[in-house]
Amino acid sequence: MQLDFSELFLSGDVNYARDDLPLGALLRYIGFTPDDDMEELGRYISGRMIEAAFYIDRYARPQLAARGVLGNRLNSVWLSPDHRRILQELQDFGTVWKSIESGDMKYHFVSGYLISDSGIFCTLTLTAQTAYALRKYGSSSLKGSYLGRYTDRENPWYGATYYSETQGGSDLGAGETKAVEDGGAWKLTGHEKYFASNAGIADGAIVTARPEGAAAGAKGIAVFFVPAKREGGEDNYSVRRLKDKLGTISVPTGEVELEDSEGFLLGERGKGIYYAMEILSVSRIDDALAAAGIGRKALWEAYRFACRRSAFGRRIIEHPLLARDFIEMEADLEAALALSLVAAKHFSDSSESVPPYDDSYHFARMLTHIAKNMASEVGAEVTKYAMEIMGGRGFLSEYPIEKFHRDELVTSIWEGTSNIQALDLLELMVKKGTHELLYTSLAQIVARCNDRELKDAMEKALERTRAEVARMMQSASPEFYGKDILRALGSVAAAIYLQDASSAQGGDVLKDMARTYIERHLAGKSASPDILSRSAGLEWMDGGKATHE
């Protein structure tokens, strides 16, 4: 008898686009309306993608094909047929081409929350940011030759970003890959592109390299589009090996070597580091939304389990201690999602800005650093505790819940760790004073709050945060306090955005969780049994029912 996946995963009947009520309210708040394709995507994820992704993770991981039958060197990664179909079907929903053709990245970002499988979605993230870079900074001839291949409906290309090198990691200025101009073309050589996701499946990649004679450090970096094949059809670079990883098994991550590889300069030579960081912002927002999305899937599954599992004479959801945990996790998750979606909106709205950029872009970038840090921390806690709720079963690899946790952990590492986000935030604060824009914006939002108690808590928290951040910035070592600043701004911004969304039309589903978050994180109130009256804010995850036969 064939396996019914619902025996392993209780959320197989969920439509992650239609049934996620907090998401719907927050999408209305940022002015985004899902189309029919996105609603179909929400159903496809639970009914098809999650099972396939789980199987790939356990039994069908990508493999590097080293040699052809005639002995020729291959630089290709072999995906299972079902893996290839999943990626194509996700592309069919418009997860890449809709945003690239429209210039509005919100469709891609929201798709990332819905999919949120860090391995599967990483392939689409890298593809979207490759196409984003080509569309924005490619020459007319370059776009004419390559951009349409990334938005092709029948056989779309896949992309990658080859930034990190073994000696530098997040320090792009330490990169040693060289670029030499050869007539109107460029030749790139470098052997240490060490964390190259989508290696072996990408048809072209965005690559950082230092042009011959350029300055040392980050200012000398330029950005290139490097096709996987030369004009004559030969491989343009080689894949040395694939890496074994704790999670994100479905995206091949390898080491890439370039040897006189043909490349095409993007934008202007002296602005490469700005382009590189802007392109990276796409995946940082995807990281934030994927972290929130994985947390949502884990919490949804754990809640359904808790409604069905009995212990000590009653269903475990009926135990006040566990009910409290669920309410507090739900509040944290909704706050992280609110902040991440606001960051996505601001980045999309400012994406036509170019170096040296305007205030709208700097504001979006600031929110991106804060959201990535906050969502990855919340997601890690939620997925870890979801495993705990399911007891020993949560620790078994035969059920998907532990995969959610493994895949979530990378969202705090990819595209810069929490320390990197803190340092980049400090740079914005010192050079651009962007935090002052944030304070002004948040104060305007608080001013329109009609709930006197919550308004007072938010006003006091905003002033307290402003004073504390100023004290840390004026200290002998602001860097020492970098993550404290990152978290302080994250807590107050997330609370204010979530409360504002809960006051907007259609935001009723958010109200109890916004109050819970503000009480815990801004007002410093101790929890009381009164919080259990807000459990109705969870029941939508099980069709409005708290118990089942």
Q: Are 330 and 299 in contact (CB under 8 A)?
A: yes
d(CA 208, CA 265): 10
pLDDT > 60? residue 8: yes
Beta-bridge partners for 76: 65
Q: What pTM did the predictor assign?
A: 0.96
527 to 327, 374, 462, 533: CA distances (angstroms): 11, 22, 22, 12
Annotated catalytic residue: which of 165, 255, 328, 415?
415
pLDDT, tens only, 445-456: 999 999 999 999
Q: Which residues make Cβ contacts (< 8 Å) with residue 96, sequence separation at least 6?
A: 108, 124, 127, 128, 131, 150, 151, 156
d(CA 427, CA 20): 36
pLDDT, tens only, 34-73: 999 999 999 999 999 999 999 999 999 999 998 999 999 8
b/e for 178-187, b at 16 or more Cβ within 10 A?
A: ebeeeeeebb
The domain 1-416+531-542 is classified under which CATH number: 3.40.50.300, 2.40.37.10, 2.40.50.140, 1.20.140.10? 1.20.140.10
User: CB neighbours (10 Å) of residue 237?
Assistant: 28
Instruction: Return the biggest CA–CA distance within the chain.
Output: 79
d(CA 541, CA 534): 14
What is the reported pLDDT for 141?
96
What is the reported pLDDT for 547?
40
**185: confidence class by pLDDT, cuts 50, 70, 90:** confident
Secondary structure string (H, E, C) spanning 80-145: CHHHHHHHHHHHHCCCCHHHHHHCCCHHHHHHHHHHCCHHHHHHHHHHHHHHHHHHHHCCHHHHHH
Tokens found for residue 494: 């997330």
pLDDT, tens only, 376-404: 999 999 999 999 999 999 999 999 999 99
**For helices 401-409 and 118-137, what crossing angle results, to 10°?**
40
User: CB neighbours (10 Å) of residue 155?
Assistant: 9
pLDDT, tens only, 467-524: 999 999 999 999 999 999 999 999 999 999 999 999 986 678 999 999 999 999 999 8
pLDDT > 80? residue 244: yes
Residue 268 annotated in active site = no
Annotated domain spans of the chain: 1-416+531-542
How far, rounded to the nearest angstrom, does the alpha carbon of residue 511 sit from its chain's CA centroid?
25
What is the reported pLDDT for 506?
67
